[in-house]
Structure 1
C-alpha cells in the first residue's frame, strides 16, 4: 500500500477537526494511501491511531520552540531515513524549512510527490515583493543594488523550489 506522511510542528487537542488532519486523511481515503502524521511529541509520548491515521511523535532534545529552525532538523533527519518508503509527503505553511525538507525529499525520492498546503506567509511572499526581504522601507534602501539583488536571488531560489 502507498504511504502518505504529513509533517507538522505541533498538534493540539482539536487537531482531528482541523485541516492539518483532514487534508491528509481525505487524500489518503481518495487515493488509497496509508496515512501517518509526524509531529514534535513530548518525551514518553507513544504512537497512536485515530480513524486509520497513525500519529507518530518525534522526540527531540533541547528547549527549542517547535517552530524554530533547529527543531525542523529533526524532520530533515526523519525524511533522510524514510523518504524511500514515502510516496507522498505533505507539509503545511510554505517556509524555508518546508523548502529544505522538500528539496531533501525530492533528492532522495525523485518519483515521490511533495504537496505543500500553501498557507503562504514569509518566504512565499518574497516571490511577489519588490522591497527588501529584511529592510527596504526607505528610498535609499530601495535604490541599493545589494538589496535588489538579494530579493532577486531569493525569488529565483523560491521559484525553483516551487
Structure 2
C-alpha cells in the first residue's frame, strides 16, 4: 500500500508550485544536497518549503489526520518517527541559515489558492525563520514552539 503513495509531485505540492511560479518566484525542487530534500528551494530567499501530508506527518488537531484502527501500534510508531525526523530536519536547516516553511495539505484544500500564495509570499518577504501554514492559519517559530497568528 505505502509503495503507491507518491513522495514527490503530489497534488498539494503542484498547487503551491504552480501558484508560486505564476507569482514570479523561481525555485529548485527536492534539493538532495539539503537535509530532508525540501520540496521547494528558493536560494535567492534562502528559504525552503515542505508540503506535508496531514496523515503521513501526523498533523495534530486536523480533520484529515486520524490514526487507522488496524495495527494502531505500527501507525503510531511510524507517524511519531516521521514527526521526529521532520523536527530534526527543520532544526538542521535553521542551524544552516535557511528559513523553513511547512505547508500542510489541509491548507491547500481549505484556503483559496490566491490567498495561499499571498500568505506564502508575505512569509518569503518577511523575516521569520520558520513557520507553518495550515487550514487554521499561519503560526511562527520552530516545531513544538509555534505561535499562532
TM-score, normalised to structure 2's length? 0.36
Higher RCO, 1 or 2 (CA under 8 Å, sep at least 6)? Answer: 2
TM-score, normalised to structure 1's length? 0.34
Higher helix share: 1
Q: Tell which structure's C-alpha radius of gyration is larger.
A: 1
